[in-house]
Structure 1
Amino acid sequence: MKAAVVHAPGDLRVEEIATPLPAAGEVRIRVARCGVCGSDIPRIVKTGAHFYPIVVGHEFSGRIDAVGEGVDAALVGRQAACVPLIPNFDHPQSALGNFSLGKGYDFIGSRRQGGLAEYVTMPAGNAFLMPDSVDPAAAAFMEPLTVGLHAVNIMDFRPGRRAALVGAGGIGLLLLQNLKRLGAGSVTVFDVDPPRLETALKLGADRVFDSRAADIETDFDDVFETAGAPAAELLALRIAGPRAHVMFVGTPHVPLTLQPAEFELINRKELTVQGSWMNYSAPFPGWEWQYAAAGLERGDYDIAALIDRVVPLSRADEIVGLLSTPGALKGKLIVDCQS
């Protein structure tokens, strides 16, 4: 089969590799569309991969085309989205429904081969069945859709409260749409990229601000940080109101240093500061996935507004240049894995 294989940082090659066969308890997916996640960037162009060679990609959809021993053959032909976390179900945290907090988990596209290929195998429970009416590109957004929903799920979110989003990347813009659906009183979006702020307005934001401006709105009830950058992390503390909830969703890649007066914002405003990791709850994979799938089926999300371009798998070696060039991508990069 054809696959985009990372051999070393910045060395991604489209080549023929063996087509995998599903083991007992597994299914094989014929991949339709695969998104390139921000977490894939260090795996592709830096030193973030666990091993080489590796096929990355965990945001993908396709159809089940083969099943292993013990798996219902009626699943063949069904559309599915990848649930990339393979929990260690024997860990005590898994028994509590905290599947991403247990040690010893596996992960499709990171710790095992992923979806930038024509075919990929996975445990049957990691193939989340999707209605045929959902476009394959939209189904590939299931994983990033559920990231923001998990943050909402584990916090004391209440409809009617004033929410702020710091970071209008893919996760942030998907979370914006969900906050509106879930009844936030208003949603204000902060970013440093004017086109992203324009997109946020089109997707329902009540107000937008350039994060660098001196005169910005403050005193929000719920603040979600999705950028993972120091300036955004600090801004989240600054714009939070008294006794607000501040949820850190973005994955940081550089150190954050707080001055005493900045850290004291947590004390003086009596903030509840929380982190969110991945996107799972009980029963696995959780409410987040059920809610997102139902929304996609109803057409509740504007997915097209988030896609920069679709490239064929045969030209996936272009990904390195796109990821390495600032400003080259204005949205999600999607790979058509059957062309």
Structure 2
Amino acid sequence: MGPEPAATWERRLERAGDLGPVHPTLLRHLALPLLRWLEDGLGCGTSQRRPVVALNGPVGAGKTSLGRALERLAALGGLRLVVASIDDLYLPAEQRRQVLAGNPFGVSRVPPGSHDLPLLLAALAAWRAGGPLRLPRFDKTLAGGEGERSGWRQQPADALVIEGWLMGCRALGPRALEASLQSGAGLDELTADEQRWLPFWDRHLADYGDLWDACDGLWLLRPQRWSLPRRWRFQAEARQRRNGGGWLTADKLDGVVRATLRSLPPALYQDPLLKQNPSLRLEGGVILDGRRRCRPLETQLSSLASASSAIG
């Protein structure tokens, strides 16, 4: 089976109708290429197992809305796609409190170590063995805003996308991390306490290697500037409050955002994703501007790979 012509994909967009608050450029430059990549692989019989895609994007980038659009567009082509968040795999609240006790962000979720990796890997193995996909759900409004598991999601699936801010990020290891700490490159915005915790986060991140190895490709939602995720997340919380939702105080929300930018500083952990890794290949992605409009990642790879990231 050859690739479908571009006109077929445009017709699919037209048939889908309203896909929510997803910018059209994000649909054309990420959603459709990702689906084409999945469908071409499945149609050509090149995949020996049910495919899992790692979708990396910062807080506030619109991953949840994009996930709903992906599922709807996939269904129009007959593909049973499930998009799940790594957030749904958080450990129960008490376990997270123990793991993250005393952390400099004051959070009980978000950083490496928050997630139930054995549960997720077992679920993937059972699904790839032919069973339905069964994953927990997580409700961030429970436990006073700390969040807690709330039921299960079970359904048949041909392919799975797992989205999250740390998807694909690799541990540096003690020696490389120490060298980075000595140089200070990319760490200007971190407090002394946040820098002291970096070895702790790096050790926990090493546990995610088996999950990355279980994935078949990596796609990136890359912000134009690393100051944007904070703006996006606070804007989203304001919208939720106007609509009668929202549950985090300003200081707690700030802690959540800082945890994503400072437990794994982008210069050390996100920038390396721009380089090809044989165990988790970068297949595509986009660069998002302040209004979450995007351009294809491949046009920017060379300049981004040579530039250092800054948190600010």
TM-score past 0.5 threshold: no
Whichever of the two has the greater Rg, that structure is 1
Q: Give the TM-score normalised by structure 1.
A: 0.21
Greater share of residues in strand: 1
Structure possessing the higher relative contact order (Cα contacts under 8 Å, 6 or more residues apart): 2
Greater share of residues in helix: 2
